[in-house]
C-alpha cells in the first residue's frame, strides 16, 4: 500500500483497542477511568451511566477517523479478556468475534489479535484454534494481571499451543489498576517463555512501565523480544520532556526492538493518538532511520508483513 505520511514510511500503531460498552466488565471501566481522575472536576464519571465516557463505543468508524487524522497506516487491534476477574455483559467469544468482524471491514488497515485469558484452560486453547482457523489470527493479547504468572506450570500448555500455532504474543506489562494485580505484570516473568520458545515473538507492552530497564535488557538479550511505547503519551502534555527522554532512551538502547503504539482509545481525552503519532514523527528524538523503524519497521518485522 502507498504510505500516507510525510516521512514516506509505513506507520503502524502496534497497540489499540476497540470495544462496545457491553464487552467491558464494570471493573475494567473503573480501571480505565482511574488514570483520568485528573479530569474528575470536569466530568462526572460513573460506570453506571452509559454516556459518561465518550470511549464506550469504539468501533471501525472511530478507529478509522483516528488513523486518518494521525496518518497511521495500520493498527494492531487487541481485545481484552478481563472476564475471569469480573464478567462483562457479553462473553469473550462474542467480543473476539465482534473484533474480528469489525477488523474485516478494514482488512488493509486493521490486524486483530485474539484476546484470551490462559486461566480458561481447555477453552482458551479452543478459542485460539477457532480464531486462527476462521480468521487467520496472527497473534494473541495476554494480560497476566488477571492473576497468572507467564512462567507458571498451569499456563504452559496454553503457551505451548501459542507456539505451535506460530502466534505473536503482545502482553501487558507494567502498571495495573483496580481489580487487576500489578505484581503479575513484571517483564522478567517472560524470560523463561522467551527461552523456551525462541520462535515465538513476545512484545512487552508499555516499555514494561516502571520496569523498563528489565524490558531493555530482555530486548537486547532475546532476539524474539520486543516492546511498544504505548501509554508513553500519558506524560503529555504536562511533561513532554519525560516522553522525549524515554524515546531517546529507547532509540539508544533498543532501536530495532521498540514499536510505536498508542493504547487507543485510553488517552483520547488527554492526548489524542493523532497528536501522539505526530509528536513521535516530528520531534527530534532520533535520526530519521531510527524513527522509521520505531514508527513501523520494527512491527513489520514482528508481524512479517
Ligand atoms: Zn492496552
Q: Are 25 and 83 in contact (CB under 8 A)?
A: yes
Q: What is the CATH number of the domain that holds 248?
A: 3.20.20.140
Statement: residue 3 has pLDDT above 50: no
What total of structural domains would you count in the chain? 1
CA of 272 to the centre of ligand 1 (A): 15
CA–CA separation, 206 and 227 (whole Å): 7
Question: How far is the CA of 32 from the CAs of 66, 177, 194, in angstroms?
Answer: 19, 8, 29
Cell (9 digits) for 45: 464519571
Asked whether residue 6 is assigned to any structural domain, the reply reads no
| Residue 246: count of CB within 10 angstroms of its CB | 17
Mean pLDDT of the chain: 91
pLDDT of residue 77: 98
Q: Are 67 and 281 in contact (CB under 8 A)?
A: no
CA of 14 to the centre of ligand 1 (A): 10
pLDDT band at 34 (very low <50, low <70, confident <90, very high): low
| Residue 189: count of CB within 10 angstroms of its CB | 19
CA of 166 to the centre of ligand 1 (A): 22
Residues of the chain with pLDDT > 70, as a percent, come to 90
Which whole number is the average pLDDT over 121-136? 98
Asked whether residue 13 is assigned to any structural domain, the reply reads no
Which has the higher per-residue pLDDT, 34 or 128? 128
Asked whether residue 259 is assigned to any structural domain, the reply reads yes
Q: What is the pLDDT of residues 39-91, one digit of tens each?
A: 545 455 555 554 455 567 889 999 999 999 999 999 999 999 999 888 888 89
Asked whether residue 169 is assigned to any structural domain, the reply reads yes
Asked whether residue 248 is assigned to any structural domain, the reply reads yes
CA of 121 to the centre of ligand 1 (A): 23
Task: Please tell me whether the overall predicted TM-score, pTM, comes out greater than 0.95 for this model.
Answer: no
pLDDT of residue 39: 52
H-assigned helices in the chain: 26-33, 60-70, 92-104, 122-135, 156-165, 191-196, 212-221, 240-253, 273-282, 288-292, 298-303
Asked whether residue 3 is assigned to any structural domain, the reply reads no
CA of 16 to the centre of ligand 1 (A): 6
Asked whether residue 216 is assigned to any structural domain, the reply reads yes
pLDDT of residue 178: 77
Q: Are 12 and 168 in contact (CB under 8 A)?
A: no
CA of 17 to the centre of ligand 1 (A): 7
CA–CA separation, 58 and 122 (whole Å): 30
Domain that holds residue 217: 19-33+52-303
Burial of 82 (0-12, 13-18, 19+ CB in 10 A): buried
Asked whether residue 38 is assigned to any structural domain, the reply reads no
pLDDT of residue 47: 52
CA of 36 to the centre of ligand 1 (A): 15
pLDDT band at 1 (very low <50, low <70, confident <90, very high): very low
CA of 263 to the centre of ligand 1 (A): 5
Mean pLDDT check: name the lowest of 2-6, 67-71, 259-263, 284-288. 2-6
In the block, cell 495476554 appears at: 142
CA of 151 to the centre of ligand 1 (A): 21
Which has the higher per-residue pLDDT, 138 or 268? 138
CA of 77 to the centre of ligand 1 (A): 9
Amino acid at each position: 500500500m502507498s504510505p500516507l505520511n510525510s516521512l514516506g514510511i509505513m506507520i503502524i500503531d502496534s497497540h489499540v483497542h476497540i470495544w462496545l460498552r457491553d464487552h467491558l466488565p464494570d471493573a475494567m471501566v473503573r480501571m480505565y477511568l482511574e488514570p483520568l481522575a485528573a479530569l474528575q472536576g470536569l466530568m462526572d464519571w460513573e460506570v453506571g451511566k452509559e454516556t459518561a465516557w465518550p470511549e464506550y463505543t469504539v468501533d471501525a468508524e472511530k478507529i478509522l477517523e483516528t488513523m486518518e487524522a494521525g496518518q497511521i497506516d495500520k493498527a494492531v487491534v487487541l481485545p481484552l479478556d478481563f472476564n475471569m476477574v469480573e464478567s462483562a455483559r457479553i462473553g469473550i467469544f462474542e467480543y473476539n468475534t465482534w473484533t474480528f468482524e469489525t477488523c474485516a471491514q478494514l482488512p488493509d488497515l486493521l490486524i486483530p489479535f485474539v484476546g484470551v485469558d490462559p486461566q480458561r484452560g481447555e477453552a482458551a486453547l479452543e478459542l485460539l484454534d477457532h480464531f486462527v482457523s476462521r480468521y487467520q489470527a496472527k497473534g494473541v493479547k495476554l494480560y497476566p494481571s488477571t492473576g497468572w504468572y507467564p512462567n507458571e506450570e498451569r499456563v504452559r500448555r496454553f503457551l505451548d499451543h501459542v507456539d505451535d500455532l506460530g502466534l505473536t504474543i503482545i502482553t501487558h506489562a507494567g502498571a495495573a489498576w483496580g481489580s487487576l494485580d500489578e505484581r503479575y505484570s513484571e517483564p522478567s516473568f517472560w524470560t523463561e517463555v522467551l527461552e523456551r520458545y525462541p520462535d515465538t515473538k513476545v512484545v512487552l507492552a508499555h516499555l514494561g512501565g516502571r520496569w523498563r530497564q528489565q524490558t531493555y535488557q530482555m530486548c537486547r538479550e532475546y532476539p524474539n523480544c520486543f516492546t511498544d511505547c504505548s501509554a508513553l503519551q500519558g506524560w503529555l502534555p504536562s511533561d513532554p520532556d519525560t516522553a522525549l527522554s524515554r524515546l531517546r532512551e529507547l532509540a539508544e538502547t533498543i532501536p530495532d526492538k521498540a514499536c510505536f503504539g498508542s493504547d487507543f482509545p485510553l488517552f483520547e481525552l488527554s492526548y489524542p493518538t493523532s497528536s501522539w503519532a505526530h509528536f513521535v514523527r516530528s520531534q527530534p528524538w532520533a535520526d530519521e532511520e531510527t524513527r522509521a523503524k520505531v514508527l513501523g519497521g520494527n512491527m513489520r518485522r514482528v508481524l512479517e508483513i
